[in-house]
A and B are shown apart, each in its own frame.
Chain A
Amino acid sequence: MGTIGIEWVRKYHGLAGDLSNTKPQAEGFYNTLAATRQFAWGDDLAWDQDFEQKNVGSPTAGTDTTWADNVDMVFFSGHGSPSGFYFGVKTDDAQAKSTEIRWGDRDLEWIVLDACNVLEENGVFNRWGWPVFRGLHIILGFHTTTSDEADRGRILAQYLNAGNTVRQAWIKACQDTEGSDVQWAYLRADAPGTDTYNDHWWGKGSVSADPVNPNVLYYARGAC
């Protein structure tokens, strides 16, 4: 059985607008997916450095080998922008930037960034692609703004439990929870001998070997 972790932020203490539904959204994923639950941090205990690699980028604090990169799948729910995703306290600088992130060199296969615009198309390969994928299979997110809603984490987990591929499950969960002016997106990596297109959640179908040194990246987006 795979391992999972979640982080969510409702209270931004004036750094950005507060959100209402990030906690139930992330916890819906956590409590529904057939998985071993490893961590769940919210509000002031959710930190950007939990997603960042030590000594990479600036600031250099990073503890992803303990948290985000130490499980198979992570669900983050909060604010985002093309350059990163945001937290409510400045234990570091309150932003997990792609320039500080290397994922998959320890464990992480899939990460959901349920936040606006993180996977905006323009420049996505240079932001989140080549530097970040070190064994990671897929980043799931949005090309556009998304609404502050409570159900998507649970619905995603239900589709994964039902045996959909990871990318299918994300697309369906987004279609179920957003209007068609919102666009889902994902970014995935492959390398010789890997097939992350057909990845399933652990125990629900095939899972590719890790694309440790990817030679091809696919970015897809569509209307919800």
Chain B
Amino acid sequence: MNAQLELPTQVQAFQAPRELPLYATVPPGWTRDTVSALATRLDLQADVADAGPWFVCRSDAWTLEVYQASNSLRLERNGFDAEARAPIKAQADRDRAVVVAHRFLSDVGATKAQATVASVTELQVLKATKEHREGERSVAGLQVNFQYTLDGLWLVGPGAKAQVTVAPGGQIAQAYRFTRDVKQVGTRPTVAAEVALRRFAQSTALAQLPAGARVRVDSIQLGLLSLPPTEVQGVLLPAYVLRGEISTELLPHAGFISYLAAADLDEGEAKRQRWQQIRPTLLAA
């Protein structure tokens, strides 16, 4: 059966442009020398090791991981107390954390996409003992979370974002920047939101639901899908992101995050252009 979707007005009325830009990725071309140069820029002096999915550069104080499949990287302070096990003298404030985070993004270099602070969240820790069974809360760091836009479109999915965790003392504890260099290779007709929603309703995720089940879509977002930084990706596929909830008798509140194709790419063209993963498994429809 096709599931009946419950759609709030803002989802029903969602309008996408008739065409969407298509961006092909540019292979990152990391070498030991370019990774070493990046490490030096981050004040990290150490040999570069090829660890399969990553180049790794580790000093006594820091570890830098550079993803071989994308232009992504992660920097960590080796001794960071991620559970605030030692007493915290002073917590960094949010403004200070944002300044530190912007400086990190500047240090690792600009990207074609524009970074925007999406949120500042807390790295939260609860410690429970037999005497305090509900736990005592502490904050091990502030996490400044960035999202990216490219020519006005959000980059969605796991592979285009950045996060800087600022320790209570105000220094960087952990940071990553996930991104891919891209070039525009034209535009493609948009799969209208109502068509994408219809495909979702017919998808395998919903096909076996019983008559009494409810599928509620809470929000819809249009963007360019970026796969995990560990994966080779040929193009940033235009995609809708749906968030909502499926209710059945066994599981009344099953939230979902689903990605739906917002453009249909031709597989023959993809092969000729050497675009990998134009139909990633992350797509629900």
Contact = CB atoms under 8 A, between A and B. Distances in A.
Interface of A: 11-21, 24, 79, 81, 86, 94-95, 116-117, 121, 124-126, 129-130, 144-151, 155, 158, 162, 167, 172, 175-180, 182, 197, 215-224
Contact of A220 (B53, B125, B143, B230): B125
A176 B282 CA distance: 13
A177 B125 CA distance: 22
Interface string B206-237: 11111001010000000000001111000000
Contacts of B250: 15-16, 86, 94-95
25 contacts: A12-B208, A17-B209, A17-B213, A17-B254, A17-B256, A95-B250, A117-B255, A125-B134, A130-B133, A145-B255, A145-B256, A148-B205, A155-B53, A162-B54, A162-B56, A176-B230, A177-B228, A178-B158, A180-B119, A216-B128, A219-B125, A219-B126, A219-B128, A222-B123, A223-B143
A167 B140 CA distance: 15
B114 interface: no
Interface string B250-275: 11011111110000000000000000
Interface string B176-207: 10100000000000000000000000001111
Given A16-B251, A220-B140, A221-B124, A148 B258 contact: yes
B256 A148 contact: yes
A18 B82 contact: no
Given A155-B228, A172-B74, A16 B158 contact: no
Contact of A222 (B143, B156, B248): B143
B254 A150 contact: no
A79 B251 contact: yes
A220 B143 CA distance: 13
Nearest to A150: B281
B88 interface: no
B8 interface: no
A179 B156 contact: yes
Nearest to B255: A145
B129 interface: yes
A121 B284 CA distance: 28
Interface of B: 51-54, 56, 74, 82-83, 85, 118-119, 121-130, 133-135, 140, 143, 145, 147, 156-158, 161, 163, 165, 176, 178, 204-210, 213, 215, 228-231, 243, 246, 248-251, 253-259, 281-282, 284
Q: Which 3 A-B pairs have the closest CB atoms?
A: A145-B255, A180-B145, A219-B126
A20 B208 CA distance: 13
A175 B163 contact: yes
A95 B254 CA distance: 14
A81 to B, nearest CB: 6
B97 to A, nearest CB: 13
Contacts of A17: 205-206, 208-209, 213, 215, 246, 248, 254, 256
B136 to A, nearest CB: 11
A49 B255 CA distance: 25
Contact of B281 (A21, A125, A130, A219): A21
Given A148-B282, A177-B158, A179-B257, 15 more contacts: A13-B208, A121-B124, A125-B134, A126-B133, A130-B133, A146-B257, A149-B158, A151-B230, A175-B163, A179-B158, A217-B127, A220-B83, A220-B124, A223-B143, A223-B145
B207 A223 contact: no
A118 to B, nearest CB: 12
B51 A162 contact: yes
Contacts of A12: 208
B119 A223 contact: yes
B205 A215 contact: no
Contacts of B253: 81
A176 to B, nearest CB: 5
B205 A20 contact: yes
Contacts of A95: 250
A121 B126 contact: yes
B254 A11 contact: no
Contacts of B213: 14, 17
A18 B176 contact: no
A15 B251 contact: yes
